[in-house]
Structure 1
Amino acid sequence: MIKILRYTEYLYLAVAIVSIYKVATLWSVEPKETYIFIFFAVVSIAMFLFRRKYRKRFEQRKQDNQQ
Structure 2
Amino acid sequence: MKFLQYIHYMYLIMAVLFVYDGIVRVQNNENSILSFLFAAAAVFMFFFRRRFSEKIKNNNK
Shared fold (TM-score, shorter chain, > 0.5): yes
Aligned residues: 61
Rg comparison, structure with higher value:
1
Structure having the larger proportion of residues in helix: 1
Residues 9-35 of structure 1, C-alpha deviation per residue, up to 9 Å, x if partnerless? 011111101001111222121341x11
Using structure 2 for the length normalisation, give the TM-score.
Answer: 0.85
Using structure 1 for the length normalisation, give the TM-score.
Answer: 0.79
SS for the counterpart of 1:30 is coil
C-alpha distance in 1 between matches for 2:3 and 2:54: 12
Question: Counterpart of 2:56?
Answer: 58
Q: Structure 2 stretches of 5 or more lacking a match?
A: none
CA RMSD across the alignment = 1.4
Q: Which amino acid aligns with 1:24?
A: I
C-alpha distance in 2 between matches for 1:23 and 1:47: 19
Matched, 1:48 2:46: yes
Contact 1:12 1:47 in 2 (8 A): yes
- Alpha-carbon deviation of 1:47? 0.4
Residues 23-60 of structure 1, C-alpha deviation per residue, up to 9 Å, x if partnerless? 1222121341x111111101000000000000000111
